[in-house]
Chains A and B, each alone.
Chain A
């Protein structure tokens, strides 16, 4: 099952197993991404794509296997981005920067500008649309200056214009900054314009092309 790995691995996942009760979600998953690679993660609903991303991010503990992320820092957007609704967009990013030991606070202006929320930075997130939250989620990832970016359905709540912007943004990060990206989505047409290759998760196992 193991993918033939490139010389420099930004991310290496080996023999990952995850069970919820009798249900084996991941059954010996191997994955290796080279630096700057953009890989699409596809598979039917419930195949374990989000679980795999959560394990890589450290939110879920595997029953077996290892995850080695040489590319640091790692940032991810899992499902719908969530924020503190009583804080402004800027304040949310400032709080997240604190969890990053204060780093990234000087990149907030740039990140807000990049995702087109600079004009709404003092508005409370509670009043944001899904698309605006998605863009703020990307801004939250950007302030980390990630070398490994994990995106879970990043365009599911976006209109066509938003999808195009996100695709351009991720492509720019990969091409210009060498950010390694693992992106899960059902929108194959969108992924087709973006990724270097696909990995399909089905029945707990991962196949690569």
Chain B
């Protein structure tokens, strides 16, 4: 065994012996199952979330709805709890003098500690994925899933894609662990170590509401948690290399800075001697964090906005067509594959802005409607209010007089969700 392996084993033993990490394991195990069961029992539809409309239609929707929630808040918190205290805990317990006077060197201690937090984080993610998918399939069923382009995804591919979606969250999860390690090393304080990455995640969430949808937003680490959207669209995107690369760069920078501090640190007991200790060190740390924040804000305005009327029209049209076909099939009407049930769509913003994310888009879709007194179908213009985010995910509300109620009964009398009631979809804005 290598020195790193010995440290990894020791650190995992410490992690698994703590109440907090045990509670985390229990939460990620029962959380998804509890969510699915409650949605089912309460017959509630979280229709205002991505894929939330389908939680009663396919067992693969609940794990993805839960994943979207976990990615925006849960994963950064879990990573911060694990990485943000793994170094500072030694300061709190005054045990560095035990660890660093043994046979293994500092490099092995540093790598072993990061690996231990990472391994535990990945195990928690795997537990969450297993619980979410198993509970979804057991409680709701293994029906096909409606994808983010309105296409129907069969059971086997839906299972594989759902599993892949969870796995694609590993790179940004590990990057947040690395951020936790950096704050833990730099501040030597468990609270600051945990709160640092969470504060950065909150800042990134705020930044998702400003600027344009260009490359800059994709460089924010939090955006990497959304990379799984691409595998649920048509045409499906391959491996999200940009998101993985962004996660790797954040991980490398955070770990590099943490190692720079840790390798130079002096463990002199009560004497303030470390490079980041004292007021001077605190000012440097706060300055560095503010500098990173300023860079992130600047990134949000980088380049031109790729969300244009033409782009939205091109994305909305096939999605609407797919969902209309699905709606007709739910109603028991056979539609020939490849049929076009809408003709054109024209999108524009109500406000002054011409492009970009916002909730003031209106898209007019010419929808094919059968006429009772003539064999020739008629195209009827229907206005959809569209709200779109910088990550390329949108929701579109149609007029109730046209789209009907949220649910209707299929030919067998079963209540099903109306696919056109509110349309959710995603596309890669880049």
Interface residues of B in 99-132 (CB under 8 A from A): 99-104, 109
The distance from the CB of A85 to the nearest CB of chain B, in whole angstroms, is: 7
**Residues in A whose Cβ lies below 8 Å from that of B13:** 91, 94-95, 98
**Residues in A whose Cβ lies below 8 Å from that of B3:** 101
> A4: CB under 8 A from chain B?
no
> A205: CB under 8 A from chain B?
no
Report yes or no: B17 in contact with A83, Cβ–Cβ below 8 A. no
> A61: CB under 8 A from chain B?
yes
The distance from the CB of B16 to the nearest CB of chain A, in whole angstroms, is: 11
Interface residues of A in 51-90 (CB under 8 A from B): 51, 54, 57-61, 73-76, 78-80, 82-87
**Residues in A whose Cβ lies below 8 Å from that of B19:** 86
Report yes or no: B10 in contact with A99, Cβ–Cβ below 8 A. yes
Report yes or no: B103 in contact with A101, Cβ–Cβ below 8 A. yes
Convert A125-141 into 0s and 1s, putting 1 for each residue whose CB lies closer than 8 angstroms to a CB of B: 00000000000000010
Interface residues of B in 2-26 (CB under 8 A from A): 3, 6-7, 9-10, 13-14, 17-19
**Residues in B whose Cβ lies below 8 Å from that of A58:** 100-101
Task: Report how far A48 CA is from B243 CA in the complex, Å.
Answer: 52
**Residues in A whose Cβ lies below 8 Å from that of B99:** 99
Report yes or no: B267 in contact with A54, Cβ–Cβ below 8 A. yes
Dominant secondary structure of chain A at its interface with chain B:
loop
Report yes or no: B101 in contact with A83, Cβ–Cβ below 8 A. no
Contact of A59 among B10, B18, B97, B103 (CB under 8 A): B97
Known: A101-B6, A102-B6. A140 touches B98 (CB 8 A): yes
Contact of B101 among A75, A84, A95 (CB under 8 A): A75
Report yes or no: B9 in contact with A98, Cβ–Cβ below 8 A. yes
Convert B179-201 into 0s and 1s, putting 1 for each residue whose CB lies closer than 8 angstroms to a CB of A: 00000000000000000000000
Report yes or no: A99 in contact with B17, Cβ–Cβ below 8 A. no
> B269: CB under 8 A from chain A?
yes
Interface residues of B in 73-102 (CB under 8 A from A): 93-102
Task: Report how far A20 CA is from B269 CA in the complex, Å.
Answer: 13
Residue pairs across A and B with Cβ atoms less than 8 A apart, 26 shown, are A20-B271, A51-B268, A51-B271, A54-B97, A57-B97, A59-B100, A59-B268, A60-B267, A60-B268, A75-B101, A76-B101, A82-B97, A84-B93, A84-B95, A86-B17, A86-B19, A91-B17, A95-B13, A98-B6, A99-B10, A99-B99, A99-B103, A100-B102, A101-B1, A101-B3, A103-B103
A interface vs B, CB < 8 Å?
Answer: 20, 50-51, 54, 57-61, 73-76, 78-80, 82-87, 91, 94-96, 98-103, 140, 144
B interface vs A, CB < 8 Å?
Answer: 1, 3, 6-7, 9-10, 13-14, 17-19, 93-104, 109, 266-269, 271, 273
